[in-house]
């Protein structure tokens, strides 16, 4: 039963969309996992998908799955590149990982139009401009 499961709250883990490079023709964006913990996290699984409404029609992107063997303390891992065309959708990242033999999971959702310059911060660990969900 759900009540029998341990309360494994995800803390000090972030998903960030970073502006990698910018030219007069285009911008290059990447999605990262940032581990702000003092411990290594292992067997990291991430599923990503986009969904929502565009031009009055329901839109869904493919579901992508990523496996990262470990992310060092105060480290980061590249998840995937992301296209600006999806910024008008919900961009969902479902994260699962192991820490000290226990499994943790959390869903991170970038809402439509939340990846905009007025929401940019200097991303910790990466030292790049972007948007982060902690």
Q: Which two tokens stand for residue 23?
A: 């030219």
**75-120 tens-digit pLDDT:** 999 999 999 989 999 999 999 999 999 999 999 999 998 999 999 9
**42-86 tens-digit pLDDT:** 999 999 999 999 888 999 999 999 999 999 999 999 999 999 989
Q: Does domain 13-128 have CATH number 2.60.40?
A: yes
Q: If you search the block for the tokens 């869904």, which residue do you land on?
A: 60
Enumerate the domain spans of the chain.
13-128
**Could you tell me the CA-to-CA distances from 90 to 8, 21, 37, 128 in Å, in that order?**
25, 23, 27, 22
């Amino acid at each position: 039963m759900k009540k029998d499961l341990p309360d494994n709250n995800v803390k000090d883990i972030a998903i960030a969309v970073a502006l990698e490079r910018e030219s007069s023709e285009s911008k290059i964006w990447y999605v990262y996992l940032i581990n702000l913990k003092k411990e290594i996290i292992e067997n990291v699984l991430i599923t990503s998908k986009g969904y929502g409404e565009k031009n009055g029609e329901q839109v869904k992107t493919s579901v992508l799955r990523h496996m990262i063997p470990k992310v060092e303390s105060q480290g980061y891992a590249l998840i995937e590149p992301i296209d600006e065309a999806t910024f008008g959708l919900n961009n969902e990242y479902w994260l699962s990982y192991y820490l000290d033999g226990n499994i943790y999971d959390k869903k991170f959702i970038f809402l439509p139009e939340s990846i905009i310059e007025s929401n940019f911060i200097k991303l910790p660990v990466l030292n790049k401009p972007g948007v982060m969900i902690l």
